[in-house]
């Protein structure tokens, strides 16, 4: 009952995990940087309010009339600017857009009414645009605002030198802010993607290990069950035969335990250099002449671990199954060959170890080849 239920339930669970990962990734993408990153990014835009100093200086010196509307205008401008930044970094896009619309209206009212040093407010206006808006809309709005600023300054009698400086600073401020925030968003998404890939790699490694253990123990446990049934049937009438079957169960169990330990050791890994030394010793102890040739630079850590596993697996096959007189191990950078002059595999399929090794090689973008002619050849090539 439990075996039948496990099959149909597994696919929905995998699908649910995939949907959960995708949902978390999309939610993180909408949120943007984490809380610490949002706070630092938000605080970086508040010092720009110092640009308001020239208009305030004019007000303090009594150079602006009427004073009350001008003072209220500057205060409103500063409040709307802060709201644009604060709401935008808290993902309240609609409210930020409303605040930006108010900021633009107040800005042009102040620029048209008071002119002169009040044109310093224009860069703040476009900085707010770069923070609030995303995509192509910010470029369109900056173009419109620049043209409008040129018209207002020209009507106020500003020189073309001042107009060009003001429009350049205004346009550049909005563009730079928009591009920098886009880069921050991309960097955040790349970091999240890297973390997600790491989680997926761990999940796939666990799945591969589970599958290897299933393949390793499935046949062994089936044999043990059959022999245990034989012991149960033979025990009442043939104690000696039952004892033989029980001894077989013990032998099969010990072999399975050895294979499981070997599999776990394979996943832990000891490194390529240690595996080559161990392989040389194992082959010599088995009476097999061995030649080891190593050329090229030392592989990267992941490739080193995989090639070390390949050495262990290949040499184990040579010692156990080949009946060979000699074995040659060639390592050229990230290409490994293990060749013997034994009887080969006789057309038998690859075992669990070589299948798991193939999966790992493919996961790293490499290949595993075997040739069963004049002995057995195992070749692992990694990029």
- Are the C-beta atoms of 319 and 356 separated by less than 8 Å? no
For 321-373, the pLDDT digits (tens) are 778 888 999 999 889 999 888 877 655 666 667 777 888 888 888 888 888 77
Distance, in Å, from the CA atom of 353 to the CA atom of 357, rounded to the nearest integer, reads: 6
13 band by pLDDT with thresholds 50, 70 and 90:
very low
Q: Which residues, including other chains, have CB under 8 Å from residue 284's CB and lie 6 or more apart?
A: 290
Distance, in Å, from the CA atom of 124 to the CA atom of 116, rounded to the nearest integer, reads: 16
- Work out the percent of the chain whose per-residue pLDDT is above 90: 2
Give yes or no for residue 7 having a pLDDT over 60: no
Distance, in Å, from the CA atom of 178 to the CA atom of 129, rounded to the nearest integer, reads: 8
Sheet containing 376-381: order of strands: 289-295, 326-332, 335-340, 376-381, 367-371
Give the predicted TM-score (pTM) of the model. 0.42
- The average confidence (pLDDT) of the chain is 75
DSSP string, 262-323: HHHHHHH---HHHHHHHHHHHHHHTT-EEEEEEESPPPPHHHHHHHHHHHHHHHHHIIIII-
Which tokens belong to 20?
A: 């959960």
Higher pLDDT: 333 or 214? It is 333
Higher pLDDT: 37 or 377? It is 377
The mean pLDDT value for 30-49 works out to 62
Provide the pLDDT for residue 33. 45
Give yes or no for residue 235 having a pLDDT over 70: yes
Higher pLDDT: 367 or 54? It is 367
May I ask the CATH class of domain 270-383?
Answer: alpha beta
Provide the pLDDT for residue 11. 36
- Are the C-beta atoms of 164 and 119 separated by less than 8 Å? no
Give yes or no for residue 62 having a pLDDT over 70: yes
Give yes or no for residue 268 having a pLDDT over 60: no
The mean pLDDT value for 138-164 works out to 74
Higher pLDDT: 272 or 157? It is 272
Distance separating the N- and C-terminal Cα atoms of the chain? 46
Give yes or no for residue 15 having a pLDDT over 70: no
Q: Delimit the domains of the chain by residue range.
A: 28-193, 270-383
Which tokens belong to 140?
A: 């369109």
- Work out the percent of the chain whose per-residue pLDDT is above 70: 79
Distance, in Å, from the CA atom of 251 to the CA atom of 273, rounded to the nearest integer, reads: 33
Provide the pLDDT for residue 112. 74
Which tokens belong to 77?
A: 């401008």
Provide the pLDDT for residue 351. 65
- Among residues 383, 298, 288, the alpha carbon closest in space to that of 341 is found at 288
């Amino acid at each position: 009952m439990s075996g039948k239920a496990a099959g149909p339930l597994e696919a929905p669970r995998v699908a649910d995990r995939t949907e959960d990962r995708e949902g978390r990734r999309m939610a993180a993408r909408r949120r943007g940087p984490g809380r610490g990153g949002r706070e630092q990014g938000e605080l970086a835009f508040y010092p720009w309010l110092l640009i308001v100093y020239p208009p305030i200086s004019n007000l303090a010196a009594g150079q602006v009339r009427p004073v009350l509307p001008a003072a209220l205008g500057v205060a409103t401008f500063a409040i709307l600017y802060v709201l644009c930044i604060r709401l935008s970094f808290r993902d309240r896009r609609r409210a930020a857009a409303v605040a930006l619309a108010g900021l633009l209206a107040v800005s042009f009212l102040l620029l048209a009414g008071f002119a002169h040093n009040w044109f310093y407010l224009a860069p703040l206006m476009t900085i707010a645009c770069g923070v609030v808006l995303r995509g192509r809309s910010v470029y369109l709005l900056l173009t419109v605002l620049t043209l409008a600023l040129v018209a207002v300054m020209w009507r106020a009698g500003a020189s073309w030198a001042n107009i060009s400086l003001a429009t350049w600073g205004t346009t550049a401020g909005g563009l730079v802010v928009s591009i920098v925030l886009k880069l921050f968003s991309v960097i955040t998404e790349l970091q999240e993607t890297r973390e997600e890939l790491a989680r997926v790699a761990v999940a796939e490694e666990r799945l591969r290990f589970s599958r290897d253990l299933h393949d390793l123990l499935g046949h062994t446990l089936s044999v043990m069950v059959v022999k245990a049934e034989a012991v149960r049937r033979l025990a009442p009438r043939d104690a000696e035969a039952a004892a033989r079957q029980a001894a077989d169960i013990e032998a099969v169990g010990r072999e399975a335990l050895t294979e499981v330990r070997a599999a776990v050791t394979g996943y832990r890994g000891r490194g390529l250099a240690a595996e080559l030394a161990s392989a040389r010793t194992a082959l010599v102890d088995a009476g097999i002449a061995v030649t080891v040739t190593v050329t090229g630079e030392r592989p990267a850590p992941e490739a080193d671990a995989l090639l070390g596993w390949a050495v262990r697996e290949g040499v184990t096959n040579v010692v156990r199954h080949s009946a060979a007189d000699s074995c040659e191990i060639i390592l050229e950078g990230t290409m490994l060959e293990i060749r013997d002059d034994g009887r080969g595999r006789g057309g038998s399929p690859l075992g669990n170890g070589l299948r798991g090794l193939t999966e790992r090689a493919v996961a790293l973008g490499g290949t595993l080849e075997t040739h069963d002619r004049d002995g057995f050849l195992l070749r692992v090539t990694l990029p």
